[in-house]
Amino acid sequence: MTEDEFDAFYAAAFPRLTGQLYAFTGDHGEAQDVVQEAFVRAWDRRRDFLADGAPEAWIRTVAMRLAVSRWRRARRWLELVRRNPPPEFVPGPDPEHAALVTALRTLPEAQRMAVVLHHLCDLSVEQVASETGAPVGTVKARLSRGRTALARVLAPREGEREGDRVR
């Protein structure tokens, strides 16, 4: 099947197959997704597709199997959630964490990346340089500038106690 023939086949069969899978799944969006995925899989086989004799049946079968797989995955996920419900109370971030995140947002992206990778992800300066593609000296400068900027933002202002600071 050529690309043009496949395109014509897709245009003719997609609405029909979507309708059939909609009846099977009860969810129009899900039906469109599985039919689309089946067509994507058929695209790789399009050269041999007419030789199969029933390309629409093949796509319908693949789409139905995909829908059943999604149901099974969803059911397993639901069973897992039921067995392990989320904790009743999940504490929010503490004020220090929120202040740090707010302060990090004030840094230029390159400095923020260097500070996060080095101090929060525990990467060495050399690893940060490798990860970011910057020379080691540049990473060191970014870390220094980033720490200085963070110290200015996070340090208590004169006349303020640590707990009184507005973040």
The type of residue at 50 is L
The residue whose two tokens read 């910057």 is 134
Closest CA to 157 of 147, 167, 148: 167
pLDDT tens by residue, the chain, 167 residues: 778 888 888 999 999 999 999 988 888 999 999 999 999 988 887 777 655 678 888 899 999 999 999 999 989 988 888 888 777 787 788 888 888 888 999 999 999 999 999 998 899 999 999 989 999 999 999 999 999 999 998 887 655 555 554 44
Contact assessment for residue 48 and residue 54, using Cβ atoms and an 8 Å cutoff: no
Classify each residue of 26-38 as buried b or exposed e, where b means 16 or more C-beta atoms within 10 Å of its C-beta.
eeeebbbbbbbbb
The residue whose two tokens read 């009860």 is 26
CA 77 to chain centre: 18
Contact assessment for residue 30 and residue 73, using Cβ atoms and an 8 Å cutoff: no
Residue 57: CA count within 13 A, CB half-sphere? 5
